[in-house]
């Protein structure tokens, strides 16, 4: 029997992080997504224990200031794409700058310097990955997906999808459908 799962990435990550933090028996507070304030210093042993418990989930501590800001930007973008069912009523640049607490110009330059890509391109990649997820696991039409991800039209979504993946969303849907048919026969 095959079932499709739907999950919220933020909730899953927070649950894993909370579970691993609780196991440390060190007082802490989760400030924002991906930010933890330890109420007392971690011993080297506790820090290593914590890091090794997070490794299977590919969660790691970011210590470089630039990388921390870039990770905050990525987290805001993922929140914006994955977790927001309502349209954001401000420009993306204003939303990111407000959430991170820095000017967008600075954030844009920093993001490009660290990741070798633009914030805009990262947003497109994130939306396309989410589109693939929605095609695979949700019973949504391309029109519904385009609306959910705030595209102006299905054509706009299709163009970005094809430019990113090399195939159209419809072709991707057919591939997934065919793959599922072959799996169900075996």
Structural domain including 132 reads 119-186
Co-location of 180 and 132 in the same domain: yes
**Does 7 map to a domain?**
no
Q: What is the CATH number of the domain that holds 164?
A: 1.10.10.60
Decide if 4 is inside a domain.
Answer: no
139 in a domain, yes or no?
A: yes
126 and 110: one domain?
A: no
Average pLDDT, 10 consecutive residues per value, the chain (186 residues): 71 84 86 79 86 86 84 90 71 91 94 94 95 86 90 93 94 88 79
pLDDT at 43: 85
pLDDT of residue 2: 67
List, in sequence order, the alpha helices (H) in 32-168.
44-54, 65-78, 92-100, 104-115, 119-137, 142-148, 154-165
Which of these, 7, 17, 114, 100, lies nearest to 60 by C-alpha position?
17
Residue-level pLDDT at 14? 82
Residue 109 lies inside a defined structural domain of this protein: yes
Residues 132 and 185 in one domain: yes
Domain count, the chain: 3
Q: Which of 166, 168, 149 is nearest to 158 (CA)?
A: 168
**Predicted local confidence at residue 12, as pLDDT:** 81
Q: Do residues 97 and 111 both lie within one domain?
A: yes
131 and 147 inside one domain = yes
Total length of the chain: 186
* 166 and 128 in a common domain: yes
pLDDT for the residue numbered 15: 85
Question: What integer pLDDT is reported at residue 86 of this predicted model?
Answer: 62
One domain for residues 33 and 81: no
């Amino acid at each position: 029997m095959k079932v499709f799962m739907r999950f919220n990435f933020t909730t899953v990550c927070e649950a894993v992080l909370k579970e691993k933090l609780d196991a440390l028996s060190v007082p802490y507070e989760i400030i924002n997504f991906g930010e933890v304030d330890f109420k007392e210093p971690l011993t080297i042993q506790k820090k290593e224990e914590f890091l090794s418990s997070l490794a299977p989930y590919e969660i790691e501590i970011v210590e470089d200031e630039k990388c921390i800001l870039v990770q905050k930007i990525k987290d805001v973008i993922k929140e914006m794409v994955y977790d927001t069912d309502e349209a954001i009523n401000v420009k993306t640049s204003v939303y990111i700058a407000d959430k991170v607490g820095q000017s967008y110009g600075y954030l844009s330059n920093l993001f490009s310097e660290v990741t070798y890509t633009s914030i805009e391109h990262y947003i497109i990649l994130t939306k396309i990955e989410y589109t693939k997820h929605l095609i695979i696991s949700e019973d949504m039409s391309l029109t519904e997906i385009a609306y959910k991800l705030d595209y102006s039209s299905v054509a706009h979504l299709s163009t970005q999808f094809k430019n990113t993946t090399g195939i159209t969303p419809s072709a991707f849907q057919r591939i997934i459908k065919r793959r599922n048919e072959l799996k169900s026969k075996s």
